[in-house]
Structure 1
Amino acid sequence: MIQDQVLFIDGEAIVIDKPAGLPVDRPRDGSLSLENHLGNLTFGFQRWPTPVHRLDRDTSGCLLLARNPKAHARFQQAFEAGQVTKRYLAVIDGIPDAPSGMIDLPLVKVSSAERGWRMTGRPDGKSARTRWRMLASRDGRAFIAFYPETGRTHQIRVHSAEGLGFPITGDPVYGVANGRTMMLHAAQLTVPRPGKPDVHAEAPTPDAFRALGFAGGSGDDGD
C-alpha cells in the first residue's frame, strides 16, 4: 500500500519511496499511476497532495509531494533555484577509471521515427551537471552515487551512458533492459525551508541492488 511507503510527513510535505514501475504522470493508455494513489495519502487533509517534481517510471525512491498550493510553490522555487540536495544510487554496466568526478554535459532532446524521443549530450543543449562517486565494484559493474546539480530530463541516465561511458544496468532506453529492473534509485532528498526544519528523507536500498551484491549506500559519501 502506498501509505506504507511514506518516509517523511508534516503539515506541508510528504516524501514517499516511489516503487519502480509506477509512473508519476498518468500514461496515455490510462494505466495506473501515482494519481490513482493520492487519495490514500491525505492523512486527515481534505486536499490531495501533489507531486513537486518527477521521477522516471522505472526509477524508485524519494518523491516529494506538497500538501497545499503555497507549499507546492515554495518547494518548486527551491528546485528551480538549485537549493535541493539529491542523491541517487545506481548500478552501471562497467567500471570507471576514476573513483569520482564531475560530468558537465549539456543535454538536448532528439527524436526519430525508429527510436522515438530521447536525450543526448550536445554543446548547444541545456546545462547539465552531475557529481559522482564510485562506492563499490564487482562482476564488471560499479555501484555509483550520483549527485545531480541540475534537474534535466533523464540527466543521470544520459550522464552515465555518455559521460561515464557506461549505461545504468537495465536502462531500456540508454542501455540494455534484458528484462531487468532499471538500477536507479533516488536514495536521499533534502529541501531547505526558511525558518523551518528541512524536508529530509532517505529511501532504503531496494532488494534488486542487493541481488547484484550492492547493499550499502546509506548516508552521505561527500564529493
Structure 2
Amino acid sequence: MNTVCTQGSNTLDILFSDDTLVVSNKPSGLLSVPGRGPDKQDCMVARVQARFSDALTVHRLDMETSGILLFARGAAMQRALSVAFQERQTEKRYVALVDGELAQPEGEIDLPLIADWPNRPRQMVDYTLGKASLTRYRVEHIDPLRKISRVALAPVTGRSHQLRVHLMSIGHAILGDALYASEAVRARAPRLMLHACKLEFRHPLSAEWLSFESPAPF
C-alpha cells in the first residue's frame, strides 16, 4: 500500500518500507542523488532520508525518468541489495512513448555502449570499446495518427542511459528526450516519456520474492 507524506512542499510517495529497505516513486525532474552545487541538493535520497535517516542509495534513475527506486536501510542491507543488482538477480521493467511505429512487435536491442567523453553525460554505441548492453522490448500500443508507439522495456544490463540510447539507435527516440532525440521529437512531450513501472527482487533477509508496480503517469 502506498504511503504519501508531505515534507514542506515535497511529497514523498512510499510504496513499501520495513526495517531493511524502502521502495519509493521518484517524480520526473528530480535527481536520484545530490548533484554539484547548492541548487542540486534536493534529490530523492535526501527526501527519503528525511523520513528514514539510515536510507542509502542502491540504484539510480535519470533525473527526467520517473518511477520506482529502491533504498537500503543501513550499510549491510545496501551491500546485499547492490550485489543483487550487480548479479542481475532483479527484474526491472519500464514503459516509454517513442517516436514512430516499430516494425517488429517485440525484439532485442544488442548494442555495446560507452561514455561519449567529449559530450558527457551522453553515451554512445561503440562496437570496439563499448560494454555489452542488451534491452528487450515489446510494443504495447501504436497510435498511427500521432505516429507514436508505447513500448514495454526490460533492460538485461544496466548501462547509463541504456534505454534512451538503444531506442534512439534503432530510429525510435523517446519523446521529450533532451539528450538523444531530435529537436522535433524532443518537443513532442513536456518531459522524458520514460517510467520505471516494475521492480522485483528477493528480500535481503527473508528471501521472499517482492514485486512492486507503479503505473506510468502518461
Please tell me the TM-score bracket, short chain as reference: 0.7 to 0.9
Which of 36, 54, 60 is the matching residue for 2:46?
36
- 1:172 CA displacement: 0.3
Tell me the equivalent position of 1:161: 168
| 1:197 alignment counterpart | 208
Query: C-alpha separation between the residues in 2 aligned to 1:57 and 1:9?
Result: 23
**2:122 is paired with a residue of what secondary structure?**
strand
Question: Paired residue for 1:84?
Answer: 90
Q: What is the SS of the residue equivalent to 2:92? A: strand
Q: Does 1:134 align with 2:139?
A: yes
Q: Distance in 2 between matches of 1:60 and 1:105?
A: 24
The answer as to 2:25 corresponding to 1:17 is yes
Does the 8 Å CA contact 1:12/1:71 hold for their aligned counterparts? Answer: yes
Instruction: Provide the C-alpha distance between the structure 2 equivalents of 1:166 and 1:26, rounded to a whole number of angstroms.
Output: 31
Distance 2:51 2:142 in 1: 38
Instruction: Output the amino acid matched with 1:25.
Output: V
> In 2 relative to 1, CA 104–78 (structure 1 residues): closer, same or farther, beyond 3 Å?
same
Superposed displacement of residue 85, structure 1 = 0.3
Higher mean displacement: 2-11 or 133-142 = 2-11
TM-score (structure 2 length as normaliser): 0.86
Q: Does the CA contact (< 8 Å) of 1:3 and 1:40 recur in 2?
A: no
Which ranges in structure 1 are unaligned for 5 or more consecutive residues? 210-223
Kept in 1, the 8 Å contact 2:55–2:73? The answer is: yes
Query: Quick one: which amino acid aligns to residue 119 of structure 1?
Result: Q
Which SS does the other structure have where 2:137 is aligned? strand
Report the CA distance between 1:94 and its aligned residue: 1.1
Cα separation, 1, equivalents of 2:12 and 2:48: 13
Distance 1:18 1:34 in 2: 7
Compute the TM-score of the two structures, normalised by the length of structure 1: 0.84
1:199 deviates by: 3.3
For 2:112, which of 98, 106, 115 is the aligned residue?
A: 106
- Provide the secondary structure at the position in 1 that maps to 2:174: coil
Q: What is the percent sequence identity of the aligned residues?
A: 34
Once superposed, what is the RMSD of the aligned Cα atoms? Answer: 1.7
Alpha-carbon separation, structure 2, partners of 1:80 and 1:116: 24
Which residue identity does 1:133 align to in structure 2? R
**Aligned residue number for residue 3 of structure 2:** none
Q: Distance in 1 between matches of 2:70 and 2:105?
A: 30
Distance in 2 (CA, whole Å) between partners of 1:64 and 1:6 is: 10
Answer whether contact 1:3 1:41 (CA < 8 A) is retained.
Answer: no
Task: Give, in angstroms, the shift of residue 69 of structure 1.
Answer: 1.2
Of 115-124 and 193-202, deviating more is 193-202
Q: Does the aligned pair in 2 maintain the 1:59–1:184 contact within 8 Å?
A: yes
| 1:187 equivalent in structure 2 | 197
Alpha-carbon distance between aligned partners in 1 of 2:202 and 2:71, rounded to the nearest angstrom: 14
Equivalences, count: 200
Secondary structure of the 1:135 match is: strand
Q: CA deviation at 1:197?
A: 1.5
**Gap regions ≥5 residues in structure 2:** 1-5
- What amino acid sits opposite 1:143 in the alignment? R
Name the CA distance, whole Å, in 2 between partners of 1:204 and 1:128. 26
After superposition, the C-alpha distances for 1:125-176 in whole angstroms (9 at most, x for unaligned) are 00100000000011100000000000000000001100x3111000000014
